[in-house]
Amino acid sequence: MGAAMGIGEEFITQTKYHNLGPSDQMRGVRPLPALEAGHDPGLAVLELPGPGTIEVKAVDVRSAIEQRKSVRRYTEAPLMLEELSYLLWCTQGVRQVVHAAATMRNVPSAGARHAFETYILANNVKGLSPGMYRYLALDHRLLQLDAAPDVSDLVVAACLGQEFVRSCAVVFIWVAVPYRMTWRYGERGYRYLYLDAGHVAQNLYLSAASVGCGVCAIAAFSDDSMNQLLGLDGETQFAIYVATAGKL
């Protein structure tokens, strides 16, 4: 007998096509997963500048790709609210809702499932109070969540003490809603969540170049601590990727 498979190897094996049963989509399960997570109607919702009104520096695609690097040191210059709006639009902006069943966005996603919610920690954004927010992508607005003065300390701790999480202008925390993906693809959909996270982070790297920002994607964080901080159960929703952005 061969050696027992590790967890990672077993995940790849068990999510091969020949090991999959019919997905909920194939079985006609209704209702379809919601395109956006719900929220407490009592929370404040803030308008963002419309994407079409925002002017950014033209950056050659080749230059943006060849000069891309992870940046962990930022200046004290604030990110403008318009610039944050642009970065949110580039990473999860909704261009079209299709029959209330799928969204077309500015990043690719398996089957147009777009199984992410975007949380941001605003540290230094002009026009926005420091604190935690969630991006309401369908309406391009921000939901205000937590303005406690120690929220940045909690995010730093969840990111295993990486101090540049505090010194950046904004932290992006992408949260996966797996059923939005597995409804169509079954257990194999968990693979696609991580592929999609890479697409989103790369869009942040490239779009940041046109607003004078650097970015650093972060995979080293405590899943349980980050989920608890955001009020997630770690199963139906969980933090999947983090990135910082700030002025150069």
pLDDT in tens, 31-46: 999 999 999 999 999 9
Average pLDDT of span 80-106: 97
How many residues appear in the chain?
Answer: 248
Does the pLDDT of residue 186 top 60, yes or no? yes
What is the distance between the alpha carbons of residues 247 and 50, in angstroms, rounded to a whole number? 21
Q: Kindly tell me if the per-residue pLDDT of 1 is higher than 60.
A: no
Instruction: Collect all residues with Cβ–Cβ distance below 8 Å to 211 and sequence separation of at least 6.
Output: 56, 57, 79, 80, 83, 86, 87
Residue with tokens 């989509």: 25
- Give the pLDDT band of residue 21 (cuts 50, 70, 90): very high
Q: What is the mean pLDDT of residues 122-131?
A: 96
For the chain, how big is the Rg over CA atoms in Å?
Answer: 18
How many CB atoms are closer than 10 A to CB 61?
9
Pick from 133, 144, 36: nearest CA to 92: 36
Q: Which two tokens stand for residue 180?
A: 């939005």
41 to 38, 44, 45, 145, 198: CA distances (angstroms) = 9, 8, 9, 12, 32
* Residue ranges of domains in the chain: 44-247
Q: pTM of this prediction?
A: 0.97
Average pLDDT, the chain: 96
- Averaged pLDDT for residues 89-101: 96
Q: How far apart are CA 32 and CA 100, in angstroms?
A: 9
Are 244 and 215 in contact by the 8 Å Cβ rule? The answer is yes
Average of per-residue pLDDT across 136-157: 95
**What is the predicted pLDDT for the residue at 4?**
86
Burial, 239: exposed, middle or buried (Cβ in 10 Å; 0-12, 13-18, 19+)? buried
| Overall average pLDDT of the 58-82 stretch | 96
Fold of the domain spanning 44-247: NADH Oxidase (3.40.109)
Q: Which two tokens stand for residue 205?
A: 């790297």
Torsions phi, psi for 183 (to 5 deg): -55, -35
What's the confidence (pLDDT) of residue 182? 98
